[in-house]
Amino acid sequence: MAHISKSAFVRGIQCSKQLYYYKNNYNQRDALTESQRVSFKRGVDVGILAQQLFPKGKDLTPTSPWQYRQSANITQHYLQQGDITLYEASFLYGSLYAIMDIVVSTDGSLNLYEVKNTRSVKEQHLLDAAFQYYVINQAGYTISNIFIVYPTHNLEDYNNDVPLADLFVIKDITNIATERQRDIEKSSQQQIDMLSAPVPPEIKIGSQCFKPYACDFMKTCWTNISAEIINSIINDNEDKREILFNKQILPR
Ligand code: SF4
């Protein structure tokens, strides 16, 4: 059974063929570009710094990304102990899987904190937070609120000269997440059904290949496409052209 995490879910909303490849043809994905490597590293650093907003938590980072049930059972074990703060806690509902950056459990109810290395809350952040909310709620936990935490400063230069509390915005998105629960349920079921098909869905390349993230399977879909079609899709957009350069789909 293929498991769907928040990043897989967002991929599937962007393009269901991308999700199909991600789950069935993972080794076919494009090599990471240098800017993607830097961005992932910064995301991890921001997440670790944000944990200090909720100190003395128990780090439950899974030892293996594939041990879904075992990781969810460990989270359940700690949440049954009483009030506690957890980092990277895992939750499982059927084939849907969530790892929450920070969970604060008080009197049996959870506050959920999703950390993003961004300067504003974007649509894709709301989507993946609503997915996390859905999985955790359906897994049987009571949720008080869900928040997106993001930095106010460029943290590359951070050297303790700004108080930690001033470094982050903690935005309550509970209303948005709860309003989206029916859509999440419907979309996640569609994704589960799509993944059980023997072949990927027929989807042509288009502007969806770039938003919200450059697809990881562009080399698979964009090779042997005529310059005319490529130009009609990117429409002189320099950012899109740069992505195609970096993935070596277009020659410099
Ligand atoms: S390259 Fe485009 S069409 Fe192909 S899987 Fe990715 S988003 Fe979908």
- Give residue 113 CA to ligand 1 midpoint distance, Å: 30
Q: Which of 217, 223, 225 to mutate to test the pocket of ligand 1 (most atoms within 8 A of CB)?
A: 217
- Give residue 17 CA to ligand 1 midpoint distance, Å: 6
Beta-carbon count within 10 A of 85 CB: 19
Q: Whose CA is nearest to atom 5 of ligand 1?
A: 18
Question: Is 24 near ligand 1, meaning CB less than 6 Å away?
Answer: no
Q: Which of 194, 215, 240 to mutate to test the pocket of ligand 1 (most atoms within 8 A of CB)?
A: 215
- Is domain 6-14+26-195 classified as CATH 1.20.58? no
Determine phi and psi for 226, rounding to 5 degrees.
Answer: -65, 150
The pLDDT-based confidence of 236 (bands split at 50, 70, 90) is: confident
Burial of 63 (0-12, 13-18, 19+ CB in 10 A): exposed
- Give residue 42 CA to ligand 1 midpoint distance, Å: 26
Q: Using CA atoms of 220, 224, 229, 235 in order, give the dihedral in degrees to the nearest 10.
A: 60
Mapping DSSP to helix (H, G, I), strand (E, B) and coil, where does residue 189 land?
helix
Whether 112 contacts 136, CB under 8 Å: yes
Q: Is pLDDT at 42 greater than 80 in this prediction?
A: no
The pLDDT-based confidence of 45 (bands split at 50, 70, 90) is: confident
- Going by C-alpha positions, the residue among 181, 235, 188 that lies closest to residue 207 is 235
Tell me the pTM.
0.93
User: Would you state the pLDDT for residue 250?
Assistant: 87
Q: Which of 11, 14, 17 to mutate to test the pocket of ligand 1 (most atoms within 8 A of CB)?
A: 17
Question: Is 208 near ligand 1, meaning CB less than 6 Å away?
Answer: yes
- Going by C-alpha positions, the residue among 166, 176, 74, 82 that lies closest to residue 125 is 176
More confident residue, 173 or 36: 173
pLDDT digits (tens, 9 = 90+) for 79-95: 999 999 999 999 999 99
- Going by C-alpha positions, the residue among 25, 70, 29 that lies closest to residue 213 is 29
- Going by C-alpha positions, the residue among 93, 94, 69, 74 that lies closest to residue 143 is 93
Question: Is 17 near ligand 1, meaning CB less than 6 Å away?
Answer: yes
Instruction: Tell me what the pLDDT averaged over the chain comes to.
Output: 93
The single residue listed with the structure tokens 């604060």 is 104
* Amino acid in the structure at residue 99: I
CATH 3.90.320 boundaries in the chain? 6-14+26-195
CA atoms within 13 A on the CB side of 124: 15
- Give residue 155 CA to ligand 1 midpoint distance, Å: 33
More confident residue, 33 or 227: 227
The pLDDT-based confidence of 157 (bands split at 50, 70, 90) is: low
Ligand 1 atom with least separation from CA of 218: 1
Q: In whole angstroms, give the CA distance from residue 110 to residue 116.
A: 19
Mapping DSSP to helix (H, G, I), strand (E, B) and coil, where does residue 221 land?
helix
Q: Whose CA is nearest to atom 1 of ligand 1?
A: 218
Burial of 17 (0-12, 13-18, 19+ CB in 10 A): buried
What average pLDDT does range 112-123 have in this prediction?
Answer: 94
Q: Which of 16, 218, 234 to mutate to test the pocket of ligand 1 (most atoms within 8 A of CB)?
A: 218
Q: Quick one: angle between helices 123-138 and 181-195, nearest 10? A: 80
Q: Is pLDDT at 38 greater than 80 in this prediction?
A: no
